[in-house]
A and B are shown apart, each in its own frame.
Chain A
Amino acid sequence: MENNYIYVPDGKLRNSSSFRCRVPMQGTLQQFIAEGVLSGADDSSVLRFVEDAEGSRKRFVCNVPKGCCPEEMLQLIAIRNNPSNPELDYSLAVNMEESSSASILLCSHTMTHDYYVTSGDMDVALSDNSSLNLVLMQNEHNDARHISRIKVAMGRNARLNMVLVSLHGGDLENSVRVDMNGEGGECRIGGLYLMDRNQKYVADIRLNHNVPHCHSDQIFKGILDDNSKAGFSGLVYVAPDAQKTEAYQANHNLLVSDQAKVDTQPQLEIYADDVKCSHGATIGRMDEQSLFYMRSRGIALKEARILQQLAFVHEVLERVEKTELKERLASLVERRLRGEFSDCRDCSKNCC
Chain B
Amino acid sequence: MNDIILNIEGLAATIDGKEILKGIDLTIRKGETHAIMGPNGSGKSTLSAVLAGKPNYNVTGGKVTFMGRDLLEMSPEERSWAGLFLSFQYPIEVPGVTNVNFMKSAVNEHRKQKGLPPLSAAAFLKLMREKMAVVEMDSSFSSRGVNVGFSGGEKKRNEIFQMAMLEPSLAILDETDSGLDVDALRIVAAGVNKLKTPDNAAIVITHYQRLLDYIVPDVVHVLYKGRIIKTAGKELALEVEKKGYDWLIHESEA
Measured CB to CB, the residues of A under 8 A from B are: 288-290, 292-301, 303, 307-308, 310-315
With A290-B93, A296-B86 given, name 9 new contacts (CB 8 A). A288-B56, A292-B55, A294-B94, A296-B80, A296-B85, A311-B94, A311-B97, A313-B96, A314-B97
Nearest to B105 among chain A residues (CB) is: A299
Instruction: Tell me the complex Cα distance, A313–B95, Å.
Output: 10
| B76 engages A310 (CB within 8 Å) | no
Q: Which residues of A contact B94 (CB under 8 A)?
A: 290, 293-294, 307-308, 311
With A303-B109, A307-B97, A311-B97 known as contacts, the answer to whether A295 contacts B75 (CB < 8 A) is yes
| A297 engages B102 (CB within 8 Å) | yes
| B55 engages A298 (CB within 8 Å) | no
Instruction: Tell me the complex Cα distance, A308–B229, Å.
Output: 41
Q: Which residues of A contact B91 (CB under 8 A)?
A: 293
Interface size range on B against A: 20 to 34
| B77 engages A293 (CB within 8 Å) | no
Measured CB to CB, the residues of B under 8 A from A are: 52-56, 75-77, 79-81, 85-86, 88, 91-97, 102-103, 105-106, 109-110, 113, 145, 162, 166
Instruction: Tell me the complex Cα distance, A296–B97, Å.
Output: 16
- Minimum C-beta distance from A307 to chain B (A): 5
Q: Which residues of B contact A314 (CB under 8 A)?
A: 95-97
Instruction: Tell me the complex Cα distance, A314–B95, Å.
Output: 8
| A310 engages B96 (CB within 8 Å) | yes
| A297 engages B162 (CB within 8 Å) | yes
Nearest to A295 among chain B residues (CB) is: B76
| B96 engages A315 (CB within 8 Å) | yes
With A288-B55, A293-B91, A307-B105 known as contacts, the answer to whether A298 contacts B86 (CB < 8 A) is no
With A292-B55, A311-B96 known as contacts, the answer to whether A298 contacts B106 (CB < 8 A) is yes
| B166 engages A297 (CB within 8 Å) | yes
| A293 engages B88 (CB within 8 Å) | yes
Q: Which residues of A contact B79 (CB under 8 A)?
A: 296
- Minimum C-beta distance from B81 to chain A (A): 5
21 residue pairs from A and B, CB less than 8 Å apart: A292-B53, A294-B94, A294-B102, A294-B105, A296-B77, A296-B86, A296-B88, A297-B102, A297-B166, A298-B113, A299-B77, A299-B105, A299-B109, A300-B109, A303-B105, A307-B97, A311-B96, A313-B96, A314-B95, A314-B97, A315-B96
| A292 engages B76 (CB within 8 Å) | yes
| A297 engages B80 (CB within 8 Å) | yes
Q: Which residues of B contact A308 (CB under 8 A)?
A: 94
Nearest to A310 among chain B residues (CB) is: B96
